[in-house]
């Protein structure tokens, strides 16, 4: 799932303070699940932004609406009527959702209310862990299902570096050393030979804007 | 004879460090931290303390992720002074294009020894939110340099290099970092990748290090490379405590704390040097150790005293 968190209110205000009719668009997909941009957050955020504006001597008509998924065009159409007379859009979707809104309503400025931070696991409601950097060349088959690109602070492929103490990363003692975890996992699975072989330099394939056409794609 | 020597391509242009290692001498290297500025005189002053007392001088590469004069430029200044540098190169700050380019430049400037490192994470330095590169890791850098030297090509494309660098390739080793049981195997990976010499993390617990070396010897690794034991004199009790608590892979025996604590006022540094000399003596008697690397941070002027006390003078002329 895509994990996002809300930007500072003052930063969103500085982007939107010169507009009078603002539509805040939530997303019932990932950002709702991670408590960053669903219906409830839209309602709360609308209230907070309104108060903040008043406090700073500006005023705007704020509206809110949450779509099923901001990253799918089919769910964006229902917004068309609602965008009449709107002069700015604030997206509470992820970076993809925000960009689809910006594309569909390209005569209206779109501002992100969230920082999209990672692809991760939902450990508990409100507690998320980053697990994937979408590097485009999945290494998990060699590394016992633990991502070195994401979970190692240096993102190295022949770890662990010298910075591991008591199984923890030198960057932050709260973070386990990914390569210590990989070692233990591979040992448990009798696949420790993976740790003995040199992994060659990564082919970073996701550096250009990606387009994916799946086998199931049928042109309509 | 070291197994590595049998297939080494080291030519006539090889440096002093490599020649001494190959002749079986117990080598001595020390560390020099470049200045936070552009003044070559500071480099020359620090280097002058070490000249004649060590066989080669490591030049750190923006250590602890703090911006300093580049290791290439500093190493080139040493070459100009007639001192042989070991240029450290971290993968934190350069992708494989920059790494290869810098290596060609370094070789052109007369630099013959390179120590390949991943580097201290950028968050520890003075630009904590810069983008760490880590396109490659230290083992991959070793492998790239070996391919450039031995095959005379750029590894990704196989394109021929017009003038391949003749390098003595080194890597670091952290015997006491986790998982300790894996460390000899990771060292083996570095050798398999092409590392010819190894400089270790600071050794204080010689007993634990000897146990580590026993495992290294069991794998036959010491026959395939030159292992240079790292030592760092403790300047004070506070430094010992700091190292123990903050530097991964540093284990300082309790007795050293007692020695430093009981030293008379202002004399803890002398005690630290005595401890350092004792460690060096024990390392000299450890099977598979080819030399020592003295990391005296901002204490370069005390290095000659350490080398002298250990009976490692005069250094051989080659």
Chain B CB contacts of A161 below 8 Å = 118, 137-138, 174, 177
Rounded to whole angstroms, the Cα distance separating B275 from B253 reads: 11
Sheet containing A168-169: order of strands: A164-165, A168-169, A172-176
Q: CB-based contacts of A81: which residues, under 8 Å, 6+ apart?
A: none
The residue ranges of DSSP E strands in chain A, in sequence order, are 2-6, 21-27, 61-67, 88-91, 110-112, 114-124, 127-132, 164-165, 168-169, 172-176
Chain B CB contacts of A191 below 8 Å = none
Return the number of other C-beta atoms located less than 10 Å from residue B309's C-beta.
16
Residue B139 sits at the chain A interface (C-beta within 8 Å) = yes
Q: CB-based contacts of B278: which residues, under 8 Å, 6+ apart?
A: none
Contact A158, B139 (CB under 8 A): yes
Rounded to whole angstroms, the Cα distance separating A163 from B248 reads: 5
**Cβ–Cβ gap B118/A157 under 8 Å:** no
Smallest CA-to-CA distance from B170 within B304, B31, B77 is with B31
Provide the pLDDT for residue A212: 87
Could you give phi then psi for residue B80, rounded to 5 degrees?
-60, -30
Q: How many CB pairs under 8 A join A and B?
A: 91
Residue A217 sits at the chain B interface (C-beta within 8 Å) = no
What confidence tens digit (pLDDT) does each residue in A43-53 have?
999 999 999 99
Residue B134 sits at the chain A interface (C-beta within 8 Å) = yes
**Cβ–Cβ gap A202/B185 under 8 Å:** no
Provide the pLDDT for residue A219: 82
**Cβ–Cβ gap A156/B123 under 8 Å:** no
Chain B CB contacts of A164 below 8 Å = 177-179, 248-249
Q: At what angle do helices B40-50 and B71-81 cross, to 10 degrees?
A: 60
Q: Which residue has the tokens 């409830």?
A: A40
Provide the pLDDT for residue B298: 86
> What's the sign of the alpha-carbon dihedral B232, B125, B138, B47?
negative
| Element spanning B198, H or E | strand B197-202
Provide the pLDDT for residue B170: 98
Residue A154 sits at the chain B interface (C-beta within 8 Å) = yes
**Cβ–Cβ gap A161/B139 under 8 Å:** no
Q: B39 CA to chain A: closest CA distance, Å?
A: 32
Residue A161 sits at the chain B interface (C-beta within 8 Å) = yes
Residues 200-229 of B with CB under 8 A from A: 201
User: How high is the ipTM of this complex?
Assistant: 0.94
The yes/no answer on whether domain A2-118 falls in CATH 3.40.50.2300 is yes
Sketch the domain layout of chain B as residue ranges: 3-234+275-309
Nearest residue in chain A measured CA to CA from B118: A161
Q: CB-based contacts of B2: which residues, under 8 Å, 6+ apart?
A: B22, B223, B224, B225, B226
pLDDT of A95 > 50? The answer is: yes
Q: Which residue has the tokens 């026959």?
A: B223
**Cβ–Cβ gap B140/A157 under 8 Å:** yes
**pLDDT by position in tens, chain B (length 318):** 455 554 445 556 689 999 999 999 999 999 999 999 999 999 999 999 999 999 999 999 999 999 999 999 999 999 999 999 999 999 999 999 999 999 999 999 999 999 999 999 999 999 999 999 999 999 999 999 999 999 999 999 999 999 999 999 999 999 999 999 999 999 999 999 999 999 999 999 999 999 999 999 999 999 999 999 999 999 999 999 999 999 988 999 999 999 999 999 889 999 999 999 999 999 999 999 999 999 998 899 999 999 999 999 999 987
Provide the pLDDT for residue B217: 98
> Could you tell me which residues are beta bridge partners of residue B226?
B197
| Beta-sheet pairing, B56-59 with B85-90 | parallel
Residue B132 sits at the chain A interface (C-beta within 8 Å) = yes
- Give the pLDDT mean for A168-182: 96
Rounded to whole angstroms, the Cα distance separating A17 from B24 reads: 74
**Residue among A137, A154, A207 with most chain B CBs within 10 A, to mutate:** A154
Residue A96 sits at the chain B interface (C-beta within 8 Å) = no
* SS3 per-residue string spanning B183-199: HHHHHHHHHHHCCCEEE
Nearest residue in chain A measured CA to CA from B120: A163
Q: B165 CA to chain A: closest CA distance, Å?
A: 20
Residues 176-195 of A with CB under 8 A from B: 177, 180, 183-184, 195
Chain A CB contacts of B156 below 8 Å = 201
Provide the pLDDT for residue B6: 42
Sketch the domain layout of chain A as residue ranges: 2-118, 133-196
What confidence tens digit (pLDDT) does each residue in A101-146 have?
999 999 999 999 999 999 999 999 999 999 999 999 999 999 999 9
Q: B266 CA to chain A: closest CA distance, Å?
A: 32
**Cβ–Cβ gap B248/A155 under 8 Å:** no
Residue B123 sits at the chain A interface (C-beta within 8 Å) = yes
**Cβ–Cβ gap B182/A195 under 8 Å:** yes
Provide the pLDDT for residue B3: 55
Smallest CA-to-CA distance from B255 within B310, B316, B204 is with B204
**Cβ–Cβ gap A157/B178 under 8 Å:** no
Just give the CATH number of B3-234+275-309. 3.20.20.220
Could you give phi then psi for residue A208, rounded to 5 degrees?
-105, 155
**Cβ–Cβ gap A160/B138 under 8 Å:** no
Q: B184 CA to chain A: closest CA distance, Å?
A: 10
Residues 128-147 of A with CB under 8 A from B: none
Q: Which residue has the tokens 């992720």?
A: B65
Residue B146 sits at the chain A interface (C-beta within 8 Å) = no
**Cβ–Cβ gap A160/B177 under 8 Å:** yes
Rounded to whole angstroms, the Cα distance separating B37 from B58 reads: 18
């Amino acid at each position: 799932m895509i994990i996002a968190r809300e930007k500072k209110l003052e930063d969103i205000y500085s982007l939107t303070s010169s507009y009078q009719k603002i539509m805040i668009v939530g997303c019932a997909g990932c950002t709702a699940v991670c408590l960053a941009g669903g219906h409830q957050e839209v309602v709360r955020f609308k209230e907070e932004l309104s108060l903040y504006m008043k406090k700073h001597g500006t005023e705007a008509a704020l509206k809110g609406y949450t779509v099923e998924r901001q990253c799918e065009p089919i769910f964006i159409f229902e917004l068309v009527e609602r965008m009449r007379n709107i002069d700015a859009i604030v997206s509470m979707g992820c970076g993809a959702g925000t960009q689809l809104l910006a594309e569909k309503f390209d005569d209206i400025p779109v501002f992100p209310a969230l920082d999209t931070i990672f692809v991760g696991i939902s450990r508990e409601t409100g507690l998320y862990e980053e697990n994937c950097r979408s590097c485009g060349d999945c290494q998990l088959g060699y590394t016992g299902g633990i991502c070195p690109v994401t979970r190692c602070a240096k993102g190295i492929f022949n770890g662990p570096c010298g910075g591991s103490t008591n199984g923890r990363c030198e960057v932050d003692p709260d973070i386990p050393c990914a390569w210590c975890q990989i070692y233990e996992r591979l040992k448990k699975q009798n696949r420790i030979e993976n740790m003995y072989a040199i992994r060659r330099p990564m082919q970073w394939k996701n550096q250009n804007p990606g387009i994916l056409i799946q086998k199931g794609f049928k042109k309509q | 004879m070291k197994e590595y020597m049998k297939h080494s391509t080291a030519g006539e242009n090889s440096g002093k460090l490599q020649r001494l290692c190959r002749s079986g001498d117990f080598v001595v290297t020390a560390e020099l931290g470049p200045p936070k500025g552009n003044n070559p005189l500071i480099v020359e002053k620090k280097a002058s303390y070490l000249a004649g007392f060590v066989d080669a001088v490591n030049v750190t590469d923006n250590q602890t992720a703090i911006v300093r004069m580049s290791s290439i430029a500093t190493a080139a200044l040493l070459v100009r002074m007639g001192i042989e540098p070991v240029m450290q190169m971290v993968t934190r700050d350069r992708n494989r294009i920059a790494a290869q380019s810098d290596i060609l430049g370094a070789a052109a400037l007369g630099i013959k020894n390179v120590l390949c490192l991943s580097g201290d994470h950028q968050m520890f330095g003075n630009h904590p939110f810069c983008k760490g590169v880590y396109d490659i890791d230290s083992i991959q850098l070793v492998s790239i340099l070996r391919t450039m030297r031995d095959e005379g090509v750029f590894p990704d494309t196989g394109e021929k290099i017009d003038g391949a660098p003749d390098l003595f390739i080194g890597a670091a080793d952290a015997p006491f970092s986790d998982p300790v049981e894996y460390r000899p195997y990771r060292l083996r990976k570095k050798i398999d990748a092409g590392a010819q010499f190894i400089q270790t993390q600071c050794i204080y617990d010689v007993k634990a290090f000897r146990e580590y070396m026993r495992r290294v010897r069991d794998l036959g690794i010491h026959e395939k490379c030159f292992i240079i034991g790292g030592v760092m004199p403790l300047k004070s009790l506070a430094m010992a405590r700091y190292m123990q608590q903050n530097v991964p892979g540093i284990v300082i025996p309790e007795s050293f704390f007692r020695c430093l604590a009981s030293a008379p006022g202002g004399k803890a540094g002398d005690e630290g040097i005595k401890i350092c000399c004792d460690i060096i003596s024990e390392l000299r008697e450890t099977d598979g150790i080819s030399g020592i690397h003295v990391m005296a941070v901002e204490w370069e002027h005390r290095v000659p005293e350490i080398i002298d006390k250990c009976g490692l003078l005069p250094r051989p002329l080659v």
